Structure 1
């Protein structure tokens, strides 16, 4: 090798260390010491570049960091909910019934974990805009939220239908604050005498033992410049989506490897390091993992290939040919971003857009049939709820 070649190699090496990529530079703020204890808004702001400009691997790591943050362990005063006497902090956050079903303000100062299961209305049996609350298989989905999200919903009057109508007299869109965190947990009650799958976390509520099947995580990272139009149609990201699932759920491995489109599993040592930094080593969270992540409608924002992300229990309605048997699915139509984007309200008719499960980019002609049998179009007067289906489902 010539002397010039040696110099070129040396300069290239120096440049590599001296000029980190955008994602690496952003990551230095995102995962700086103390990341586990940062306020939610500050953490979201520090990690927005990693979330929206980083690689799939960096997004997967951020998913684990969000998982670790919401699962910070707190004491269980009852002493009977878990073997360790500890429970994840989100089990002390307000549920949908705490947010939409009462005028009593939720007390974030006590942060005592609830001992009663508080499921939200089941969405899988929605037909023609009607919500069925039947729960034939003892499965429960429980929605919780952090203080930033709760305060905005309550203070903005977005917890009753009459107040939603009032809100849209002066506003054209809901705009949740940066740092809002919305979670949805999937539980399955254990019949007496039966045990949970090996490795699954089990918690005891009044009424029985439930094993934890997974957790949706939805975090607001930035606001859009024009939410009225952008939420429905723009590929510009605003929320970060991930869904964690118990690793031995039937068929989950096949779904992850063949049907989910954006995932990049981390090495076990990297996962253990994140959990250890968060003080969660040994609790049992290693039995769960993200199915993937999502930040927009389509891959690369091109509008061509839909991003597919979902949970085999919480979105089993989107699997085919048999919704109850993920191990045999050949197709999975689930997209957190696309589905939640249609959450909207029409001030003229005072109605919410019917629940649906689209994938890929939306357009103004996207339509559904409401409970009255009328076809309604997204582009005909509907105003965005900022991806917040609970406003549509829970307000009365």
Structure 2
């Protein structure tokens, strides 16, 4: 699928927005963690991950993009460490027609309130997708395990389920408790004046004001009280992981490889590290796609 790209900006403020994922498949959580979501049985979810140029250059220069390269690098016994301020963005997309059915709204409601982009497979007709969820991670000095943040569209079903939503900087209503019943609506998330000003200065499309922070994370917590963070689309629906067991940092800490290839993550909450005999991939699961 060809991802559509668009660039908006003026002066030194430039925002590049991403397009639909490289495919759209049946979400694994329909009969598991997302059972009862009401998501259309014939619907699909697409997911994509994009990284900044500095990370790309580091992985290429060290041969960390192929199976042969992983084997060679593993023998050096050196850690994988991408440059500081490395940035990764993951987005989940649902066809507008599917999302409209799920929400019980006309397609015009979706296109008015969600960022959308069109893509096609081969020479087939284009399909318009709506971005429901966006996950951002950045490796900032002082935070070697990265800082993680999840954003949902205001109208994404279940956006504050189980964990609630917390945004002490960007939202007028800083804390939103979880609904008693899952997969409902939580309403709009008006932005604080500070964020509204930043978005205006950066010439960000107005539709992005509809995207609300679920929360952020920079530590594992403890085994008894792990920190939790997740997206109802990325985790329960598309990864079959319940929100109550969702921790971005813990899951990604298991990203690793040995001479034979990628490692496997364990329980995705609480303190976690690569298995013995494996080299960590600096909390990036892109290692799974090395060929």
Same fold judged by TM-score > 0.5? Answer: yes
Dislocated runs of 4+, deviation >3 Å: 119-125, 191-194, 260-263
Instruction: Say which structure is richer in strand.
Output: 2
Shift of 1:240: 1.1
Mapped partners of 1:345, 1:120: distance in 2: 27
1:208-248 residue CA offsets vs partner (Å, 9 max, x unmatched) = 1001112111111138xxxxxxxxxxxx6431110111011
Any idea what SS the aligned residue of 1:244 has? Answer: strand
Mapped partners of 1:334, 1:220: distance in 2: 20
Change (3 A) 1:72 1:222: farther
Any idea what SS the aligned residue of 1:338 has? Answer: helix
Mapped partners of 1:220, 1:179: distance in 2: 5
Q: 5 Å matches for 1:1-396?
A: 73=8, 89-91=16-18, 117-119=21-23, 137-191=43-97, 195=107, 197=110, 198-206=112-120, 207-222=126-141, 237-253=144-160, 255=161, 258-260=162-164, 263-264=167-168, 266-267=171-172, 268=191, 269-280=193-204, 283-298=206-221, 304-316=224-236, 317-319=240-242, 332-347=244-259, 350-362=260-272, 378-391=274-287, 393-396=288-291
Change (3 A) 1:276 1:333: same
Q: Tell me, which stretches of 5 or more residues in structure 1 are unaligned? A: 1-70, 76-86, 92-113, 126-134, 224-235, 320-330, 364-377
Mapped partners of 2:229, 2:211: distance in 1: 16
Mapped partners of 1:243, 1:312: distance in 2: 10
Shift of 1:121: 9.0
TM-score (norm 2): 0.71
Report if aligned partners of 1:261, 1:308 keep a CA contact under 8 Å in 2.
no
Any idea what SS the aligned residue of 1:289 has? Answer: strand
Q: Tell me, which stretches of 5 or more residues in structure 2 are unaligned? A: 1-5, 30-40, 101-105, 121-125, 173-190
Please report the RMSD computed on the Cα atoms of aligned residues, expressed in angstroms. Answer: 3.2
TM-score (norm 1): 0.53
1:229-283 residue CA offsets vs partner (Å, 9 max, x unmatched) = xxxxxxx643111011101111214x2xx51586435322232112112222x53
Mapped partners of 1:155, 1:251: distance in 2: 41
Report if aligned partners of 2:250, 2:268 keep a CA contact under 8 Å in 1.
yes
Task: Decide which structure has the larger Cα Rg and report it.
Answer: 1
Mapped partners of 2:249, 2:165: distance in 1: 13
Report if aligned partners of 1:261, 1:309 keep a CA contact under 8 Å in 2.
no
1:22-42 residue CA offsets vs partner (Å, 9 max, x unmatched) = xxxxxxxxxxxxxxxxxxxxx
The higher-RCO structure (CA 8 Å, 6+ apart) is: 2
Report if aligned partners of 2:116, 2:130 keep a CA contact under 8 Å in 1.
yes
Mapped partners of 1:152, 1:90: distance in 2: 23
Instruction: Say which structure is richer in helix.
Output: 1
Mapped partners of 1:273, 1:304: distance in 2: 40
Change (3 A) 1:136 1:384: farther
Counterpart position of 1:59: none
Equivalences, count = 236
Report if aligned partners of 1:74, 1:88 keep a CA contact under 8 Å in 2.
yes
